[in-house]
Amino acid sequence: MIGLQVRVLISEEEIKKRVSELAVQISRDYAEKDLFVVGILKGAVVFVSDLIREIAVPLEMDFMAISSYGASTQSSGVVKMLKDLDTPVEGRDVLIVEDIIDTGLTLSYLTELLRSRKPNSVQTAVLLDKPDRRKIEYVPDYVGFTVPDKFVIGYGIDYNHKFRELPYIGVVTS
């Protein structure tokens, strides 16, 4: 990792264990529902892929692409839709799966957007929660890990389009 020092914050084994726990909880909560998983590109691809393989109820899945970072390490505060869903969500039980929540702006925007499309329900699952960065009140329904206000990479989360392939969550230290 040229020019970057990374310290492991959450190991590959810890992630696997927590993803399994979340899948059990989601499977129980959606046992009698029409589960429609919305993965948020690109950061949540690894998390949503591992999560849906562990979920024990039938589901359908689609993707949305949203940007609020660009090439920066901090959210710009402006949410921009890059790709919308291909499938209608009306009457479905929607679970938005996101890599990380910090300011809350992106998930708040997505939740309201999808609620306007008349689903039965909209809930959110995030791998990482940075509550110290919140700009608006938002509490995800399912949380993998709460992390400090540090820039993280790995397990799908990038820095300038790199490091998504790391099997762990690391903190950039320099």
Query: For the residues of 109-128, what is the DSSP string, one character each?
Result: HHHHHHHTT--SEEEEEEEE
Residue 1: what pLDDT? 47
CA 162, CA 160: separation in Å to the nearest integer? 6
4 part of a folded domain:
no
7 part of a folded domain:
no
CA 114, CA 13: separation in Å to the nearest integer? 33
Residue 2: what pLDDT? 59
134 part of a folded domain:
yes
109 part of a folded domain:
yes
Residue 39 three-state SS: strand
Scanning 30-129, the segments in alpha helix (DSSP H) are 45-54, 105-115
Q: Cα 149 to the chain's mean position, in Å? A: 17
171 part of a folded domain:
no
CA 142, CA 51: separation in Å to the nearest integer? 12
Active site residues: 102
CA 97, CA 107: separation in Å to the nearest integer? 10
- Checking DSSP bridges between strand 152-153 and strand 169-172, what pairing results, if any? antiparallel
Residue 74: what pLDDT? 53
115 part of a folded domain:
yes
Beta strands in the chain (DSSP E): 6-10, 35-41, 59-67, 80-83, 93-101, 121-129, 142-146, 152-153, 169-172
Residue 174: what pLDDT? 67
Residue 67: what pLDDT? 77
Residue 63: what pLDDT? 97
Count the neighbouring beta carbons within 10 Å of the beta carbon of residue 36.
Answer: 25
Domain of 18, in residue numbers: 12-152
**pTM for the predicted model, two decimal places:** 0.91
Cβ contacts of 80-84, under 8 Å, gap ≥ 24: 82/41, 83/41
CATH code at position 124: 3.40.50.2020
129 part of a folded domain:
yes
164 part of a folded domain:
no
Residue-by-residue pLDDT tens, the chain, 174 positions: 456 788 999 999 999 999 999 999 999 999 999 999 999 999 999 999 999 999 999 999 999 998 765 444 555 567 788 999 999 999 999 999 999 999 999 899 999 999 999 999 999 999 999 999 889 999 999 999 999 999 999 999 998 888 999 999 999 886
Domains of the chain: total? 1
Residue 22: what pLDDT? 98
